[in-house]
Structure 1
């Protein structure tokens, strides 16, 4: 049975990714409904010794992202122009407001400040949900979570980064060192990325045991 459409639908309804405990509960319910397990099978929540907490981006994380992204290219009329990525050779991706990229953002795109702020808030929720999903229920402090969301907002690499794997494994010192590897754009180190990764690593390590 392909369960992906069920998980995709529930994810869309709740507006975020899943914690591992939630995945276990949904799998259990599907197995009960389809006869895959006996009705008296132990419930996954009853077997668990602890349930991972649901995270939201904290004020320190949001402030860090706002600091490094900025809301750029303000016009004389108060609106904002899209601009090419200053660190890439071809200017892609085109960016607007608080570092927003994606479909519909290209040369000539103009947004109001309200549009920039609304997209920023939506992006923060999306990136935070993706980080939570990538952590797979690993113990995480608020400071660590905030640092990882800032990292992911800038790189989009939370699912593939060795940093994430080290954190899930409980190697917080190793994860802290991994931030410094993500300082390149088109294979060139950028001073701004060096400073941003340094601040993210400091925030991450401030919450490490």
Structure 2
């Protein structure tokens, strides 16, 4: 599956679209981010990208997370909204495809376990638990998780964003 235009709209709403690199809001420094949520060793203070490069890198980044989410759900049936929400979640916290059983992202999360077990209500409730950065609960992450939960439950991007805007 691929992320739908609805999913991309929610992703861009939360990540923003920045031509100049900016510091992580939780740390005030690393990791530096540019474009639509792109981080990596090539991103540093003072870096500037043109719009065409932002679009190219976003497509590449999304393709990586779409593939990883596909691997994690391993053929389990998913609606487009569920796939979008899981991909956006992994885009933000990581896919966590490794050998340990520590929930550092989607791969070892209770959210994924509940999804794979068919407990969609339980899986949807798990999004809210991922609201911390650098150990601190953050309003922006609470809002983002509310939007991802709404997408997971079948809402449109407009509804997901509206719900996020009223989430404290």
| Alignment TM-score, normalising by the size of structure 1 | 0.66
Structure 2 residue 137 is matched with structure 1 residue 193: no
Q: How many residues align?
A: 145
Query: Hey, what does 1:84 align to over in structure 2?
Result: 23
| Matched position secondary structure for 1:81 | strand
Counterpart among 98, 122, 132 of residue 174 in structure 1: 122
Q: Within 2, Cα distance between the matches of 1:110 and 1:205?
A: 37
Q: Within 2, Cα distance between the matches of 1:92 and 1:177?
A: 30
Counterpart among 110, 113, 116 of residue 48 in structure 2: 110
Query: Hey, what does 1:63 align to over in structure 2?
Result: 9
Q: CA deviation at 1:115?
A: 1.1
Counterpart among 145, 158, 165 of residue 113 in structure 2: 165
**1:25-64 Cα distance to aligned partner (Å, 9 max, x none):** xxxxxxxxxxxxxxxxxxxxxxxxxxxxxx1111111111
Counterpart among 35, 40, 51 of residue 97 in structure 1: 35
Query: Hey, what does 1:140 align to over in structure 2?
Result: 78
Residues 136 and 168 of structure 1 are in contact (CA less than 8 Å); yes or no, is this contact kept in structure 2?
no
Residues 131 and 149 of structure 1 are in contact (CA less than 8 Å); yes or no, is this contact kept in structure 2?
yes
Give the aligned CA root-mean-square deviation in angstroms: 1.3
User: Which stretches in structure 1 are left out of the alignment for 5+ residues?
Assistant: 1-54, 73-79
**1:8-29 Cα distance to aligned partner (Å, 9 max, x none):** xxxxxxxxxxxxxxxxxxxxxx
**1:96-155 Cα distance to aligned partner (Å, 9 max, x none):** 111100121112322112111110111111111111111011121111001111111111
Structure number with greater Rg is: 1
Counterpart among 66, 74, 78 of residue 128 in structure 1: 66
Moved over 3 A (4+): none
Q: Within 2, Cα distance between the matches of 1:183 and 1:124?
A: 21
1 or 2, which has the higher strand percentage? Answer: 2
